[in-house]
Amino acid sequence: MGWVKICFFVILGVWFLWQGSKTLSLMPQNDFKIAFWANVYSSLLITVMVAIFINYFTPLFKHPELIIVVKQNSFYSNKIKITQKPDGNYEASFRLAIKNIGSKTFRANGGYWHVYFPSAEKIETLNGAGGFIAQGENNHLRDLINLPVYPKSFLDFGPEYKLLIKKDALRKTSIRYFFETDYGYFPNSVRLDQKTGAVLFSDMGSIEFEQPD
């Protein structure tokens, strides 16, 4: 969407410049240079003013953009803090939350979240249900986003999780996710295989674990 916006405003600026150049072609040669630069600056100024108006006062380029973050001790973060147990392994307790980093409200029932926990690690739910489990994929949770998510705000979902991680698996362990919505897929890198319906882990969003000191 960012490239679409840039291309639109570039084309708009070129159009204003072209409109002004049609008038320049009728001017005497001596006045052409002064008028040319005046036309360039005025076209640039008009383009910027129109761009600001369209970007901030119309819904033309406004869209939601969703990511998943974690909530620990009432704080949101892009990484999961872990603690080391006496046996050398690690554990982490956390909740998941959707954050809308876009500029438009994501409406209720507008799509599904998908979360993939590390399949080799032990995970427990401390309270509540964790969402629908995809058939044949015990580490894959998914559910409908049944509440709106406003721009720059958070929506907690699911239970509190407790994840146990073996010490030799920490560096290669992460939680993967993506969204399947009326607004498209998030992250934008997600590509759904049209034959299998699968999404590559490398295309999904990732929540990493913060290395303990």
Contact 192, 200 (CB under 8 A): no
Cβ(92)–Cβ(73) below 8 Å? no
Q: Are the beta carbons of 93 and 85 closer than 8 angstroms?
A: no
**Would you kindly state where each structural domain of the chain is located, as residue ranges?**
2-57, 66-210
Q: Are the CB atoms for 109 and 77 separated by under 8 Å?
A: no
Q: Which two tokens stand for residue 155?
A: 């929506």
| CATH class of the region 66-210 | mainly beta
Task: Give the model's pLDDT for residue 118.
Answer: 84
What residue ranges of the chain have pLDDT lower than 50? 1, 24
Stated as kind and residue range, the H or E segment containing 51 is helix 29-57
- pLDDT at residue 9, rounded to an integer: 53
Q: Name the pairing type of β-strands 79-81 and 154-165.
A: unpaired
The pLDDT of residue 1 is 47
CA distances to 41, 44, 71, 114 from 14, rounded to whole Å, are 12, 9, 47, 43
DSSP code per residue over 91-110: EEEEEEEEEE-SSSPBPTTS
Q: How far is CA 44 from the centre of its chain?
A: 31
